[in-house]
Structure 1
Amino acid sequence: MTTAETPPQGPLTGVRVVELAGIGPGPFAAMLLADLGADVVRVDRPGGSGLAVNPAFDITNRNKRSVVVDLKSPDGPSRVLDLAERADILIEGYRPGVAERLGVGPRACHARNPALVYGRMTGWGQDGPLADRAGHDIAYIALTGTLGMIGRDDEAPAVPANLVGDYAGGSLYLVVGVLAALHHARATGSGQVVDAAIVDGASHLAAMIHGMLAAGGWQDRRSANLLDGGCPFYGTYETADGRYMAVGALEQQFYDEFVGLLGIADQAPARKDVTRWAELRETVAARFKTRTRQEWTAVFEGSDACVAPVLSLREAPHHPHLAARGTFTDHGGITQPAPAPRFSATPTAVRSGPAQPGAGTADVARDWDVPGLTQTGT
């Protein structure tokens, strides 16, 4: 097959990325870049990252190659700088100042490669009173007000895994930032530092809600608003078999179809009468408890009532719509989300499984022309 016939591997084909190994949002951001076709080299430390997952199952390391470098050894920093000199983007997730102390901070990297985009992924950011403090997703979203919005008003805030902080407020903002900076670097020849802080990203996610709060259209408490479970036609309801259905019938035409198919059209009070929302919720809840999730799924199938079954992680890949779209894929015996989003001219794919620490050393040394990577004894 000629080069012209080789299928494209994503819109970032040809972009080189160095990822200084960490856990959480940094690896996920690098995976997204790799899914989009970038050549991502993960620089693992001797002994691994400390993540309690077998590296063979760490999907966030798919589509990457790994080399092992001890940054505390005499020539460790120079090996990373050799990679940075040939890269377009570098991603690190250390506490502020650590990369500098290791000899691979922005100044050292830009001395070798002025066009490098240097992406920094932290929870608190590079400055501010908490910048040097340890933390995890839950603490970051707690301070932004985001965690306080989630859950019932009579219960503790619900923990949304680490999706809102680490990945939405962290990884995705880092990826947007480094790609915007890459665009600038290619236009001007000048790289820059991207400071991606989870507290910034998670706060930014709530931009619309802050506007509603200022306008008086959002109450600053849980389960009291249109989109936080306070509205009886936007929430979840238990079924007869102890499972759940999700309801999002916000607009009038969808609401009318919802109450009709649910069988309560003659009992439901006016949807805009907030004083009777508790009554409406009780009516909806009682009705959902009369049938199983499967039975209700069949009732709402093909309708515009905006009702869906709440599926588990293992159930989701088998849903007919997700299966038809190929939203999930199997690679190396692991069922996993397929790369997203999708591109008409440069389709993406899971090209390789999770990179095993150090397994790509010889190939990277050859492809990036960094022969020092294969040297041993230091």
Structure 2
Amino acid sequence: MSLEKGRLSSRQLIVLALFVFVGDMALIYPLTMVADSHQDAWIAGLISLPLGLAGILIPLKVHYFYPQMNLIEKINKILGKWVGTAVCLFYLFFFLIATSIYIREIEDFMCTQIFEKTPGAVFRFMTLFLVIYGLRLGLETLARAAEIFLPLFILFFASLMILLLPQIQLENLFPIMHTPLPKLLHSVLFGISYPFGEMIVFLMVHPYVKKSKHTNRDIFLILIIGAAVLNLILFLSITVLGAYLPEHQFYAAYILAQKINIGNFLQRIEALMAIVWVITTFFKTALYFYAFTLGSAQLFNLKSFRSLIFPVGFLVFGLSQLVSKDIVFYMKKIPSTWVDWDFTVSFVIPLLLIIVYYVRKSKIRTSSG
């Protein structure tokens, strides 16, 4: 019996996919890419696009094994009770920590860039309150809210990009291909694992989408658009700010928006970038929160996942404080290790699930034959 009664349209799915894909990456993507490949980061971003799209086929293949089941149900079905439970707990832990990190990212950004004297707990509470309220209303309501915010996202982002065009200095891209190949490939791994890998959360949502023959096409199209958005931010960060500042500044994209100055009249509109980032990160946080609560309820055979929303909210409130000592620790430690976790849960384990599925299927055919 499904614990989720709401149903999403294909349009709602792709809007959520765009917000999750861009999400927190809108601000921190330049840092993660420039760290190793410097001014060649835009090349790594372009290489990661087709590879990331190819990688998405792996979890998508897992989805088609049992399209009526979400990720937790599929794992138990394929791996069996004991091994399946262990892998499910691993995924639930990933969803929980990811939720806590996204909450902490919003807190750190607001406290260091906008409201410097406001206690971080205020922003943690406000964000969690909205997430909990949204999930109590249901997944479908959350998706409808995302549709409302989509035009705002497009308007603000397009305005920022257009207004930054006069600031571009193409000489910041040189020398081209100066980065050693191993470091360039490491940046490519970041470009694949971070934005593309974190789409694994949609295996918890996909079964509750109304069927459409164009759904997969639309998903790939929105991933291409999302990747274009992130790589455009990366390109502008390098060409406007140079390679050094994005490498050492966590919120390079926010500083990028501060550079807008049209005739000494239209300036200091970085709040638009902040709004875009908070909107996308909020919906990403909400979906990961949803994945953890729904998956936990299914794993432990609860009648409803909504009874877990408030307790999990308290848990996330505390964990978001514990995941990182401060923003400096976050910058130096979390991105370099998180990429491995993303790659594992998004590509390695799904690939193993595919192998186990076909091995078990072949054994059943052999025994029946």
What TM-score, normalized to structure 1? 0.25
Greater percentage in helix: 2
Q: Which has the larger radius of gyration?
A: 1
- Highest RCO, 1 vs 2 (Cα 8 Å, sep ≥ 6): 2
Greater percentage in strand: 1
